[in-house]
A and B are shown apart, each in its own frame.
Chain A
Amino acid sequence: MSFKPGEAEWMGYLYHELDAETTSKMDALIQSDPEAAREWQRWQKLRAVTGLLEDKEVIAPVFYQQEPQRKTRTIPGIYKVLTGIAASLLILMVAAKFLDLHISYSKNELSISFGPAPVAEPIIKQADPGITAEQIQQLIDESLAKNSAGIEAKLKETRQALKQELAANDKTDAEQMNQLVTGSAQINEAQIRQFVSSLQTENLKLIKDYMKMSAKEQNNYMEGLLVDFSKYVQEQRRGDLQLVETRLNSIEKNTSVFRQETEQILTSILGGKNKDKEVKY
């Protein structure tokens, strides 16, 4: 085979960075040529060993980025002048505020003042010189007298009317009160009587019921007692009978035993006498 790989081919093949054509040539060469196969194996083994060197663990430090310096802007001349004027005005306004400055223009007069504002004096119109003070006083007195007389008359009228109305009201109220009191008294008496009678009937009924119930309960109780007593007596009787029966049985047994013993004794005695007679004979 004419293909002989150089350093570049070997490295390209080892790291899979060869074009398809050269790769196939290399494949074929390694398949056919034992020397090339050994070379390939050596590279592979070397890579297997070099692969053992692992990365070291390292922690990236915190990254601080310095803020970029800000560009300082230069202000054009006109803006500087305008800013100066504005600043001066502002200072003047602040100073005026603190000094309590007042500027006013009226009646072709410009006034500038510091401190509290001037108060305009009130203009008092002069009275008509045609009427004198005494006349005015007289007129006032007259009108006052007229007014007071009218008011008094009205007061009298209203007082009288009020008195009459109050008297009428008192009268009607008293009548109504009397009616109410008498009515209520009558109603109360009848109601009380009715209540008492109802109470009496209820009490009577209750007592009757109670008596009935108590009589019934007493009866039941007595019956129960009697029943219990009869049961008790019967039990006693049964027990006594059993006792008597057992005693009788024992007496009967004793009697039979005594009879048997007596019979035995008698038979033994009789048997002895017969033997004596036989001996005598």
Chain B
Amino acid sequence: MPGTLTEFAMQTDSLIQHARDGDPQAQSKLVQIWYKRIYNFAFKFIGQHDQAMDITQKTFISMCRSLGGLQDLARFKPWLYKIAVNYCREEVRRAKAGKFVGFESVWNPEAEISPAWENSTRRHDNPESQLRYREVTDILQQALKQLNEDQREVVIMKEYEGMKFREIAEALNISENTVKSRMYYGLDALRKILESNDITRETLGYEF
């Protein structure tokens, strides 16, 4: 395990370097490191598990194929998210054109015992708290879906993926100011959606 952030960054750089040179082990390691992040980005963007899985898989296949073309190792993160964003947009377009109905809309995976539920930290909470949490996360997920695509991708990248404005700008091929502007209006829209659902810090109380 890397001791410091610098050490970690160096290790990641060398890992990317090896993966770029075609080392399958390094590529596998990169997939292991970034899989959860890309999946969660796609899931928050699309809101469907299966599609998010597809997008994640496609993203990593593309990563392995075109990693050789990456010149600057420091730009790996925005580069990877750029691939993921493109696949997310493609998926949205496909869904709009084909009136795609996700499998999860007719099947509730949470109703069954799943490893995700077994591993969840909320498993030990009281039932009321669990229910409230589920409601809040559903509302948040729905609120994100109500944002337009431009705002949604920026909000998710910034708020949940912790990317710098510069990195987001690089990933989306836009200026930093545009990113900040989209972020501002995205958050503002999100606030309005949440307020309309009466979801504020005060209403949630001390449970969260």
CB of A12 within 8 A of chain B? yes
1/0 per residue, CB under 8 A from B, across A4-26: the answer is 00011011100101000000000
Stretch of B5-13, B30-38, B82-90 on the interface side: B30-38
Q: How far is A57 from B35 in the complex, measured between Cα atoms in Å?
A: 10
- Of A45, A47, A49, chain B has the most CB atoms within 10 Å of the CB of A49
**Number of chain A residues close to chain B: CB under 8 A:** 28
Are A10 and B184 in touch, CB under 8 angstroms? yes
Measured in the bound complex, the distance between the Cα atoms of B155 and A53 in whole Å is 13
The stretch that binds B, out of A58-66, A144-152, A191-199, A213-221, is A58-66
A residues less than 8 Å from B133 (CB atoms): 52
Contact of A65 among B24, B39, B141 (CB under 8 A): B24
CB of A65, distance to nearest CB on chain B (Å): 3
Contact with B along A55-81 (1 / 0, CB 8 A): 111111101010010000000000000
Chain B hits for A8, CB < 8 A: 176-177, 180-181, 184
- Bound form: Cα–Cα A50–B194 in Å: 9
Task: Enumerate chain B residues within 8 angstroms of A48, measured Cβ to Cβ.
Answer: 201
Chain B residue nearest in CB terms to A55: B40
Query: Closest chain B residue to A65 by CB distance?
Result: B24
A1: interface (CB < 8 Å): no
Q: Please, which residues of chain B bring their CB within 8 A of the CB of A68? A: 22
With A15-B158, A49-B200, A56-B43: A42-B35 Cβ-Cβ less than 8 Å: no
- Known contacts A8-B177, A10-B184; decide if A50 and B116 are in contact (CB<8 Å): no
Q: Does A58 lie within 8 Å of B35, measured CB to CB?
A: yes
Q: Is A43 an interface residue (CB 8 A)?
A: yes
B165 A60 Cβ-Cβ under 8 A: no
| Known contacts A42-B191, A58-B35; is-contact A53 B160 (Cβ 8 Å) | yes
Q: Would you give the 0/1 interface string for B173-184, flagging 1 where the beta carbon is closer than 8 Å to chain A?
A: 000110011011
Instruction: List A residues 149-167 near B (Cβ within 8 Å).
Output: none
Q: Within 8 Å CB of A50, what residues of B?
A: 140, 159, 190
Kindly identify, within residues 152 to 208 of chain B, every residue whose CB is under 8 Å from any CB belonging to chain A: 158-160, 164-165, 176-177, 180-181, 183-185, 187, 190-191, 194, 199-201, 204, 208
The yes or no answer to B44 lying at the interface (CB within 8 A) is yes
16 A-B contacts (beta carbon < 8 Å): A7-B184, A8-B181, A46-B187, A46-B191, A49-B136, A49-B199, A50-B159, A52-B137, A53-B160, A54-B137, A57-B115, A57-B116, A57-B119, A58-B56, A63-B60, A68-B22
Interface residues of A (CB under 8 A from B): 7-8, 10-12, 15, 17, 42-43, 45-50, 52-61, 63, 65, 68
The 9 A-B pairs with the shortest beta carbon distances in the complex, nearest first, are: A65-B24, A60-B35, A7-B184, A63-B28, A8-B180, A11-B180, A53-B140, A58-B39, A45-B201
